[in-house]
Structure formats: C-alpha cells, structure tokens
Amino acid sequence: MSNQYPTIKQYRRKPVNVEAIQWTGLNLDDVMWFIGDEFGVSYKPAGGKLIISTLEETDCALRNDWIIKDIASGKVHPCNQIAFHALYELADKGNMDWEFE
C-alpha cells in the first residue's frame, strides 16, 4: 500500500436546460397547460397538493414548489423551492440552445 493520498478531483454538475413554472396553488390551468396531456395531473385542495403521474412514478408538488420539464427528455417532476434555487438559475436568452415559442 502506498503512503501517498489518492488524487481527489472536484466535479461540477453538467448544465441541463429545463423549463419551469412555480406552483402557487392558484395557477392550476397554467400548470396543466405546461405539463401537457402526456401526464396525469390532479389537485388536492386540502394542503394545496398537486399530484403529477408519469409513466415511471407519481410525484406530489406542494405550494411554491417548481414543476420542472427537462428539455431533452421531456420528463416532468416537482422540485422544492430551496433545491430549485440552489440548482437552477434563469438562463440568459443568448446562451440557450432552444427557442421560446
């Protein structure tokens, strides 16, 4: 066994372009339009829960969570507000590799 320490490197998460809308509890029509017809969406007024059913799983979004759609795969999932702001920043329109419709 060597007396040297292993080489440790730092890694950065690759940038991923997403579209997102924040669930406010009052914008059900907007969120349903954003998610589209491919996924099942139901709303539970008690607690303001938004249930999103995909082919792989069923997720629950609470008020102020963000609904994220991966541009490349089209996958949709909720993300809590703290994690969203830690992981994502608003894309500069000049650096995007997709166009807004």
Q: Where are the domains of the chain?
A: 18-93
At 98, the pLDDT band (50, 70, 90 cuts) reads: very low
Query: Which of 87, 85, 75, 65 lies closest to 15, judged by CA?
Result: 87
Mean pLDDT of 3-11: 82
Q: How many CA atoms lie within 13 A of 71 on its CB side?
A: 11
| pTM given for the model | 0.74
Q: What is the pLDDT of residue 100?
A: 43
At 61, the pLDDT band (50, 70, 90 cuts) reads: very high
Q: How far is CA 37 from the centre of its chain?
A: 17
